[in-house]
Structure 1
Amino acid sequence: MLSDRLLELGGLAQLQRIASDKSPWAVLATLLLIASVGVIIDYARMLWLRSKMPPGPLPLPIVGNTFQLPENKPWLWFEELSKRYNNPLVTVWIGRNPTVWINDAWSASELLDKRAGIYSSRPRMVVFAELGAGQNNMVNMYTMTPEQRERWRVHRKLMHHAVGSQQVRKYRQFQNDESKVVALDLLRDPADYVKHFERYATSVVSIIGFGRRVESPKDPIITEVIAVMHLAADLNVPGKSFPMLMETFPWLSKFPNAIAPWKHGLGKKRGSSFFYAVAEEAAKKEGHDEAFVKYLFEKQPEFRLNDDEIAGLSGNLFGAGSDTSSSTLVTFVLACCAFPETLKPAWEEIDRVVGPHRSPHFDDEPNMPYVRAFVKEVLRWRSVAIIGGQPHAPTQDDHYKGYLIPKGTWVQGNVWAIHHNESEFPEPDRFNPNRFFPSDPNNRPFPGEKGYMTFGWGRRVCSGQVLAEQGTWITVARLLWGFHIQKKKRPDGSVVDVDIFNYTNGLNMRPQPFECSITPRSREHKETIEREGRQALQDLEQYRGESKYRMSTFYHESSRALKLYGDKE
């Protein structure tokens, strides 16, 4: 850039003068002068860009607005800024780099959907990409050049084979069976509903990816992998503390881990990837030739996939399907407890269509419009990917409503603000499925046919969207059909209240733990749940299996093996 070139030329001239002057004070003064001139030039660049870009708070030199970011839930602050500046787009500076936050559905649709060809790339992401999987994972991949776009298309094509819209219809049988097992688990042990949801969601993607189900909520593939995902989601929230402070000061990421505790272990070179080992193990086992990992190894020579790419593609199934889907179901339970008036219309519709002697199946969906609206409201009311996943970046300078959005800028959709904009969703914190019916007074126009933007936009939309929607519908419908889900009563008759705002702070948010009551609606429903659950377990027996690998020991053992061969971390 021009400012960097001027600084370089000025620095060379000063260094020539330093060479003829031995005084350390003169050297120090000159270096301070060069630094000051560089900061002034760079700040002038920032202010010039600020005058061209969407409005936002005044950035400071070098640090931008980083230290104005709130400690928790920054998406609320971005929403507040949007209202303060009366603009759907706001610019917040993370260090020397601007980030544009979209707080309106129509602007998000215009930029990220209709201009998807421009906004399909990623910006520089120090924490999530450079210190993580980098360009071996399609979630992080740049598409700035034709070569990068082609590599990303290869990954998207492979992922589409696993969870494309036509492919996921083939998964309905075992997805339905796993949903029946959830109902059986809730009947036997309702207090651990969160663990049952995590087992269900993880088992579905494990069958798709590795050809084996997850039978127990204590299986390490759940307890360890989801814990790591929660940690990653927490660490990658835009903020003023480490490790995200490295986005403001990228040079801090260059320090070795041994002397850089702020890196939280990120960027540490290890042995072979855990997910590659799990994928290779499953690919070598006989049977279940439809498993995604077997397809990946079959296509490895054709698409020149390296080990890290196979690890990323197989691991992404868990990221796209386990934590997010289970968190959505926890939000569903919270909504039932907080807004019991929405349940009666669901019961009336389900009883009319299904009755107590069988649970809903996918063919019932067209006949249950209220349940379909209920699921939409679950996805809208408290979306899991609250800032729309990873940021987009334009591949060229773009202009929108007179504002400049420079090439490579971090552009992010604020799903919270979009789904809580009263122009589209009156009383946005009220859980109200009726808002999706055209005849309802709270119904408002919304871009796209779905009525929500839970899964992102354009070419970077969540790969597992159709799978997640399919699984959410059948499980919500089944649990509405079979159970009373309500606030828990204490022995003295008082009720344990719930807080609809008490959510985690990560990129994938979910309700903080809360107590509730989950009981069968009738004896007939209970008997049906037991009968169908037992049959589902028999049908799923073909997917029985277990991995020998544990994330908690894998990296320790692989690191030890590397040291035996003289390799250094």
Structure 2
Amino acid sequence: MFATILSSIGFAVALSYLSLISPRLLQEWKIYAHRKELPPGPKTIKSGIRKPWIWFRELNKEYGDVVYLQMGPTPTIILGSAQAAWDLLEKRGAKYSSRPRFIMGGELLSAGMRGLMAPYGPFWRRWRKLLHGGFMQRQSETYRPIQSLESKVLMRDLVQSPLDFRKHLQRYAASVIVTVTYGRRVEDVENDIVVRRNDESMDRLTQVNIPGKYAVERYPALKYIPSIFAPWKAQVIKQRQKDIQLYTQLMDEIKEKKARGDLPTCFAKHLLEEQENLGMSDLEIAYAAGSPFGAGVETSAGSLASFFLTCVKFGPRFIPKAQEELDRVVGNGRLPTFEDIARMPYVKAIASETLRWRPIAVLGGTPHASTADDVYRGMFIPKGSTIIAPLWSIHLNESDFPEPDEFRPERFLEDRDYPGPFGHSAFGWGRRICPGMHLGSASVELNIARTLWGFNIRPAKDIDGKDVDVDIFAFSDGFNSSPLPFPCSITPRSPTHVKVIEKEYQEAMEPLRRYTAVTNKVS
């Protein structure tokens, strides 16, 4: 067909003709015309796989760090190295800062209200301005007192009931995000209605955003099938209605507190102050407030859980050295602070290696989309391509991280030629870099420092007194991937450390009472 068009009416006329009758046909013609210049890739496509990032890494190993897939009508590029991701998503951000069309997550589930999935344009720029204003470095440092106070609660929880450490990590992460966002803390993560409703919402979002999982992403016409004949559609529309109710009720509560004059400084207050200037509707503001609430809990709690997993599996290799540094810099009379961390390069390296070793945003976050044709290393990347930079491929790339499954903090103390300022790619690239990266990294660093200061973390013992091994590849499915439940032993280093933790916990409770929810409209 394409050859017939080309031979009969000529190249330039063919392009004009195709652009008029069908943009999709034009894209298909471009792909056909440049077929010999496309990046390498497989001839057959897998679909419906539970953990696509594992397959993507196999493709990167076989075909290189730029792989081409034709997933339905959409060309897809899989980037498997930090350099390729940096070159395209950072250096050429003007071409690679949009988003592909997300029919399940963006349209059916979110009605186009989630800035995280919005294409590059006026709505996304307003959303991004709000997030930058609320969470970039200078502003994020104002949240450090909350992070430190909640961290003291976490340390005491680990003393009181160490077997429930996963629940404690979840409560810490949830309370920091909810307090920073809405000015109300979370005391019981299992019974807090806001946390439960948000968990439900995020679980649905992460499950529907797995590339290749739903046929409607490849064949958009399926979107218009009546819900009665499409259970997958009915489920997300029902969830959308529940999400709107949750976010709206939370903002109504914020407005009431603001009117009474008892609203602490928080991100939602910032949104209300900026709403009129940016011309955003009440629903847009409500969804914007839900952005850090939705994304920050799972990533922070999951990263800290990965740290505990590394302690069980690799602890003797790095824990003694970290504790020597902590004892030398901090001593045993108080908990480490943010100011201390700047003087502890090895502890900071452990935090960086934690984010590198098992990235929670295993697919590299939400995919990018190209807005113009491009050529990279002689390979043609069509306009409208979906660009996926899976961190499972990038962070486990042997050329950047030899023996990538080994936990080696020393990587971040060596001179390495790695693009970007962090030595890893956990927070993304370019204009779509994670706005909450400063808040998230601060939580990981502080809690790793305090946990290593106060506790010994070792393998659990079986009934015969032998160490229980853990599986470092047992991680959940979904858009984000966290460690599956695993056993471990968490014991205080000494009675002195316990006394310090108890004392600082008691001191933390008084300022935290300001953020205890008095009224709650969410049901």
Same fold judged by TM-score > 0.5? yes
Residue 433 of structure 2 is aligned to residue 461 of structure 1: yes
Q: Does 1:238 align with 2:216?
A: no
Point out the more displaced range, 280-289 or 508-517.
280-289
Provide the rounded CA distance (Å) in 1 between the counterparts of 2:372 and 2:253.
Answer: 43
Q: How does 1:267-282 map to 2 (within 5 A)?
A: 267-268=237-238, 270=241, 272-282=244-254
Residue equivalent to 1:265: 235
Q: Specify whether residues 42 and 58 from structure 1 end up closer, same or farther in structure 2 by C-alpha distance, changes over 3 A only.
A: farther
Structure 2 residue 475 is the aligned partner of structure 1 residue 503: yes
Superposition map of 1:186-265 within 5 A: 186-218=158-190, 219-239=192-212, 241=213, 244-263=214-233, 265=235
Q: Structure 1 stretch 48-57 or stretch 452-461: which is displaced more?
A: 48-57
Q: Secondary structure at the match of 1:216?
A: coil
Q: Which amino acid aligns with 2:194?
A: I
Match of 1:404 in 2: 380
Does structure 2 conserve the Cα–Cα contact (< 8 Å) formed by 1:187 and 1:519?
yes
1:99–1:411 Cα contact (<8 Å) kept: yes
- Whether 1:294 and 2:266 are equivalent positions in the alignment is no
The separation in 2 between residues aligned to 1:2 and 1:309, in whole angstroms, is 44
1:392 to 368, 381, 403: 368
Distance in 1 between residues matched to 2:394 and 2:277, nearest whole Å:
42
Q: Report how far residue 384 of structure 1 moved.
A: 0.7
Matches of 1:477 and 1:124, distance apart in 2: 41
Letter in 2 for 1:342: F
Q: Does residue 351 of structure 1 match 2:327?
A: yes
State whether residues 134 and 140 of structure 1, in contact with CA within 8 Å, keep that contact through their aligned partners in structure 2: no
Q: What letter matches 1:265 in structure 2?
A: Q
- Which residues in structure 2 correspond to 1:158-173 (within 5 Å)? 158-173=130-145
Go from structure 1 to structure 2 and tell me whether the alpha carbon gap of 1:119 and 1:542 turns closer, same or farther (over 3 Å shift).
Answer: same
> What CA distance in whole angstroms lies between the structure 2 residues aligned with 1:75 and 1:541?
43
Residue 75 of structure 1 corresponds to which residue in structure 2? 53
Q: 2:149 aligns with which of 177, 192, 207?
A: 177
The amino acid across from 1:116 in the alignment is: G
Aligned-pair CA distance for 1:48: 4.4
Tell me if structure 1 keeps the 8 A contact 2:40–2:66: yes
CA distance in 1, matches of 2:182, 2:456: 35
CA pair 523-40 structure 1, distance change in 2 beyond 3 A:
closer
Residue 415 of structure 1 deviates from its aligned partner by: 0.8
Equivalent position amino acid for 1:221 in 2: V
Q: Is the counterpart of residue 125 in structure 1 residue 102 in structure 2?
A: yes
Query: Any idea what the Cα deviations from partners look like across 1:13-59, whole Å, max 9, x if unmatched?
Result: xxxxxxxxxxxxxxxxxxxxxxxxxx999987765454332111125
Deviates more, 1:183-192 or 1:153-162: 153-162
Spell out, residue by residue over 1:506-530, the C-alpha distance to the aligned partner (whole angstroms, 9 max, x if none): 1111000111111111111111111
Is the CA contact 1:91–1:99 (under 8 Å) kept in the aligned structure 2?
Answer: yes
> What is the aligned-residue RMSD (CA, Å)?
2.3
Q: Which amino acid aligns with 2:169?
A: F
Q: Is the 8 A contact 1:425 1:444 kept in 2?
A: no
Give the direction of change, closer, same or farther, for the CA distance of 1:44–1:393 in structure 2 (3 Å limit): closer
Query: Which position in structure 2 is the counterpart of 1:88?
Result: 65
Correspondence for 2:78:
101
Alignment partner of 1:166: what SS? helix
- Give CA-to-partner distance per residue, 1:451-508, whole Å, 9 cap, x none: 1000111000111001001111111100110011111112421222110000011111
Instruction: Give, as a single letter, the amino acid of the residue that structure 2 aligns with 1:309.
Output: E
- Residue 137 of structure 1 is matched in structure 2 by 114
CA contact under 8 A between 2:204 and 2:236: conserved in structure 1? no
Counterpart CA distance in 2 for 1:40 and 1:314 is: 39
The percentage of aligned residue pairs carrying the same residue is 40
1:436 paired to 2:407 = no
Going from structure 1 to structure 2, the CA distance change for 1:119 and 1:507 (only over 3 Å counts) comes to: same
In 2 relative to 1, CA 395–489 (structure 1 residues): closer, same or farther, beyond 3 Å? same
Q: Structure 1 residues 44 and 168 mapped into 2: Cα distance closer, same or farther (>3 Å)?
A: closer
Contact (CA 8 Å) 1:423, 1:444: kept in 2 or not? no
Query: Aligned to 1:372, which of 348, 352, 364?
Result: 348
Counterpart of 1:74 in structure 2: which amino acid? P
Alignment length, in residue pairs? 498
Secondary structure of 1:359's counterpart equals coil
State whether residues 27 and 382 of structure 2, in contact with CA within 8 Å, keep that contact through their aligned partners in structure 1: no
Matches within 5 A, 1:480-519: 480-519=452-491
Q: Judge conservation of contact 1:94–1:247 (CA < 8 Å) in 2.
A: no
Distance verdict in 2 for CA 1:500–1:70, change over 3 Å: farther
Q: Which of residues 390, 401, 418 is equivalent to 1:425?
A: 401
Q: Which residue of structure 1 lines up, in the alignment, with residue 38 of structure 2?
A: 53
1:307 to 1:52, Cα distance in 2 relative to 1, 3 A: farther
Amino acid at match of 2:36: S
Contact persistence 1:53–1:91 (CA under 8 A): yes
**SS at structure 1 position matched to 2:476:** coil
Q: Displacement of 1:531 after TM fit?
A: 0.8
Q: Secondary structure at the match of 1:339?
A: helix
Q: Aligned partners of 1:72, 1:138: CA distance in 2, in Å? A: 26
Cross-structure match for 2:286: 311
Deviates more, 1:41-50 or 1:384-393: 41-50
* Range 151-160 or range 499-508, more displaced: 151-160
Give 1:263 deviation, angstroms: 2.3
- CA, structure 1 residues 128+48, in 2 after alignment: closer, same or farther (shift >3 Å)? farther
Shift in Å, 1:297: 2.1
List runs of 5+ in structure 2 lacking aligned partners. Answer: 7-23
Is the CA contact 1:385–1:507 (under 8 Å) kept in the aligned structure 2?
yes
Q: Which residue matches 2:492? A: 520
In structure 2, the residue matched to 1:338 is: 313
**Alpha-carbon spacing, 1:354–1:416, altered in 2? closer, same or farther (3 Å):** same
Structure 2 length as normaliser, TM-score? 0.90
| 2:248 match: secondary structure | helix
